[in-house]
Structure 1
Amino acid sequence: MKKILFTFFIGILISTNSFSQEKLTWHTNIDEALELATKENKNLLLFFTGSDWCGWCKKLQNDVLKTPDFEKWSADFILVELDFPKRTAQDIKIKTQNRKLQRAFNVRGFPTIHFVSAKKLENGKTNLNNLGKTGYVRGGVKNWIKTANNIVN
């Protein structure tokens, strides 16, 4: 009986722990993300993706962005997904915002990730300082994080 209760308790503990893990928040509105970055004094990670058509974007998602290592590493960033879907409907405001940011950061291929620091100016506008960029990095999450650290440090 004690073994059954102990096993039951461990099972509940494990399942509770896995559900209580904090999931990443990916923002889609750059204005909200900038406000949060300024408030929390964090840099932004801008993920330019073609979520419903780009094979390398999906590979980056699975190999890096959806891993516990990335979740832990990205705690110092405000994450922003700037999507360019072909088959999925998208709000016109988000679509326009994403196109403007694509032009501003001269993004020509997907996936592209820009690391950006935001500084609030006296006139109320926000200045974006591009720290560098990367995309898919072979070798999994460890190599991707090493590359990203070289950019942001």
Structure 2
Amino acid sequence: MKWSFIVLLALVFSSFTEWGNDLDKAKTQARQEHKLILLNFSGSDWCGPCIRMQKEIFSTEQFQQYANEHLVLLNADFPRNKKNQLKKELQESNDHLAELYNSKGIFPYTVLLNAEGKFIKSWEGYPSKGIDNFISQLTEVGDGQ
């Protein structure tokens, strides 16, 4: 019984794709695994559409499965509440990502990059047409690379 529980936990956690916060590591991983980078700009404690996007798009099994096969996930979070503030190094890294890819400060803002960090496509706001359409758009762009 103990082993079956461990196997079950391994299966659950193996399907969960982690979001990184280091562009250089994401580029290295994307090159090694022949994947694209999906960079998401979020305000995790103040941006309603960002929170909704995390729950209804990025946390779904459908997105997780697609991401595991095709994407390296990168998140640049900009929390406002004092208790949620990030370490200074991470804040600086997120600011740098914003300078490169989100100079207008749009939230949520999702950017698809190639393995070299070059811009391919972006989406502003919450994907109003749902998860199927969002994945379809990612697939279209990814197939063109």
Q: TM-score, with normalisation over the residues of structure 2? A: 0.81
Structure possessing the higher relative contact order (Cα contacts under 8 Å, 6 or more residues apart): 2
Gaps of 5+ in 2: none
The residue type paired with residue 20 of structure 1 is L
* Residue number among 141, 144, 149 corresponding to 2:131 in the alignment: 141
Verify the 8 A CA contact 2:19 2:74 in the aligned structure 1.
yes
Q: Is the 8 A contact 1:51 1:83 kept in 2?
A: yes
Deviations 1:107-132 (A, max 9, x none): 4211111010123xxxxxxxx21110
Distance in 2 between the 1:129 and 1:112 partners?
Answer: 16
State the superposition RMSD in angstroms: 2.3
**How high is the sequence identity, in percent, across the aligned residues?**
25
CA contact (8 A) 2:42 2:77 kept: yes
Larger radius of gyration: 1
What is the distance in 2 between the residues matched to 1:150 and 1:45?
A: 14
Residue 35 (structure 2) pairs with residue 46 (structure 1)? no
Runs ≥4 residues deviating over 3 A: 13-19, 150-153
1:107–1:147 distance in 2 versus 1, CA, 3 Å = farther
Which of 61, 76, 82 does residue 82 from structure 1 map onto? 76
Quick check: 2:28–2:115 contact (8 Å CA) kept in 1?
Answer: no
In the alignment, structure 1 segments of 5+ residues that lack a partner are 1-8, 120-127
TM-score, normalising length: structure 1: 0.77
